[in-house]
Chains A and B, each alone.
Chain A
């Protein structure tokens, strides 16, 4: 990947998720900054061990849900009560408040629709995922059964990685 050429990194491969978790804790204890970990599946507790902040994507989804809710209220009131009020089956729709119970299904569906889709779009954008993007993992084995820790190059880094049980270490 392009940006890695500017800041030299050392990449270490591991065969076990528990070893990786211990390695991350060990390296951070020694003051070595773990830049990235590539794994074939989510490792429980890795984000805390790496010191990653909690994701706020659930909060984003809640906001998107509120947008959906507002859109639903807006279109039902505009279309049914303002632009073209109708008397359907002897039940006139004069005010939105009295008409609202009939709109609950629509309001619910649009809330879910907005929350789910906009959240997934956000997820794809912030992770830079799009059709045809170049694979983000430097080593294809990390989607299979290998795990990779990426740290900034420096003195003693290679030895520290070896001590954590890395099976392969490469500088890039």
Chain B
């Protein structure tokens, strides 16, 4: 029952017991934060506060403080929105899709990846809200009875589909994450010595006791949630891409957008998971759980999705030429050779060229190199959204309307602010939540633990 072929490499390194997993996972919560945590947290907090200032300035004055003009009416705000939503996708992919495919290696990384999903979707959600100008009218995006008729929202509009997709995605990801957290909070509660800490984790753990029937339902709920989250995650970026694809702007209205956006989302999300986990495993000494093998697996996903994105870029170019539509042809020629050529070629280099290094085992198992590529991929994916949005808009049908976009300090400040906010949330999570799904991980200790695999005694020693 606990047998796994020795061809498979162990997922948990070292001579671990159930007790060791408990202690290792609880350690970041129970001990003082390392100095490195405080340094990164302080920097993130400053960035976040700067962003809050820029958001308040925008709300107080109006979105005229951004660099938008009448030709380029969407720029950094929507770029950042799509970028953050995309990053979120890897978390759901790891926790839901890999669960359905019974990929056991997901267990060490799914908790943090899902946390990343939730925190990045929060950042994404900020942008459409701020862009409304009158943020206090934000609730008008939901269909509720009112005294204007009733005047309803337009269910034909992709922007409204987005509202439903993003809110469903955020809330479902959150309950998926929280359901998994309940048994782990109970573990911390039962270990806590400090009464304040014990009380907090008692509230968070909902009284979980690990009864047989509760576990049976727990596993069923996880499976069904994974089954629901899998089409959901694909639908979310599909719908985000439809914000563009259903319009009539050359460069936007292409049918390749849904799969192309989803692949790009997974690509950028895995890069962000790499960035975060390489830091987490180092600061919290999780090298035995988040192993080189995990890093390598994720690098392979990055390589494959990066190549899919590359094929999509080239298909777009081919179809633009093949369509015979002048406007379409110009839009793509202009992307690669027009005034924003540098953004296009940054995108190509970062997203299509850089992941190809992962064909080499030496490189994809090298941590420093992986970290570097993960940053480059995230920069590249930001440029992809910028290229799609701004270069398609900046050359209007009338040459008299042609313009360029340059961000103001407020555009830049809000973007930096969301990066700060994201890291503030993630760092707080890493100090107060169990960063590894320890209950799940214990189920594979006997089959995939390094020393257990060596000894292979079904009633193994402890």
Contact = CB atoms under 8 A, between A and B. Distances in A.
A132 to B, nearest CB: 5
B210 A117 contact: no
Contact of A124 (B161, B189, B206): B206
B218 interface: yes
A60 to B, nearest CB: 9
Contacts of B209: 38, 135-137, 142-143
B220 A135 contact: no
Interface stretch (B117-125, B223-231, B305-313, B361-369): B223-231
- Main secondary structure on chain B at its contact with chain A? helix
Interface in A113-165: 113, 115-117, 119-120, 123-124, 126-137, 140-145
Nearest to A79: B152
Contacts of B153: 79
B150 A80 contact: no
B31 interface: no
A168 interface: no
A130 B202 CA distance: 10
Contact of B172 (A57, A76, A117, A129): A117
> Interface centre among B155, B160, B209, B221, by most A CB within 10 Å?
B209
Contacts of B229: 116
A86 to B, nearest CB: 8
Interface string A84-104: 101010010100000100110
B183 A58 contact: no
Interface residues of A, number: 69
B137 interface: no
A124 B181 CA distance: 13
B232 interface: yes
B460 to A, nearest CB: 8
Nearest to A89: B156
A112 B228 contact: yes
Contacts of A18: 1-2, 458-459
B403 interface: no
B150 A84 contact: yes
Given A57-B217, A113-B168, A144 B191 contact: yes
Nearest to A65: B228
A2 B458 CA distance: 38
B422 to A, nearest CB: 24
B210 A79 contact: no
A145 B149 contact: no
Nearest to A146: B18
Interface residues of B, number: 73
Nearest to B189: A135
A136 B212 contact: no
A31 interface: no
B217 A127 contact: yes
Given A143-B186, A143-B190, A135 B205 contact: yes
B93 to A, nearest CB: 16
A63 interface: no
Given A79-B155, A119-B221, A143-B187, A112 B210 contact: no
Contact of A145 (B18, B167, B175, B206): B18
B235 A43 contact: no
A100 B364 CA distance: 47
Contacts of B221: 57, 119-120, 123
Nearest to A99: B156
A171 interface: no
Contact of B215 (A39, A103, A109): A39
Given A47-B212, A113-B172, A144-B19, A130 B156 contact: no
B210 A44 contact: no
A128 B206 CA distance: 8
Interface string B187-209: 10111000000000011111111
Contacts of B256: none
B151 interface: yes
B372 interface: no
B282 interface: no
Contacts of B175: 116-117, 120
A76 B160 CA distance: 12
Contacts of A61: 224, 228
B239 interface: yes
24 contacts: A16-B459, A18-B458, A36-B211, A41-B440, A44-B1, A80-B156, A91-B156, A105-B165, A106-B155, A106-B160, A106-B164, A110-B168, A112-B231, A117-B175, A123-B179, A129-B207, A129-B214, A133-B207, A135-B205, A135-B207, A137-B208, A144-B18, A144-B187, A144-B191
Given A46-B212, A117-B171, A137-B190, 10 more contacts: A58-B220, A76-B155, A105-B165, A108-B235, A120-B179, A123-B179, A129-B182, A132-B207, A135-B208, A140-B190
Interface of A: 15-19, 36-47, 50, 52, 54-55, 57-58, 61, 75-76, 79-80, 83-84, 86, 88, 91, 93, 99, 102-103, 105-106, 108-110, 112-113, 115-117, 119-120, 123-124, 126-137, 140-145
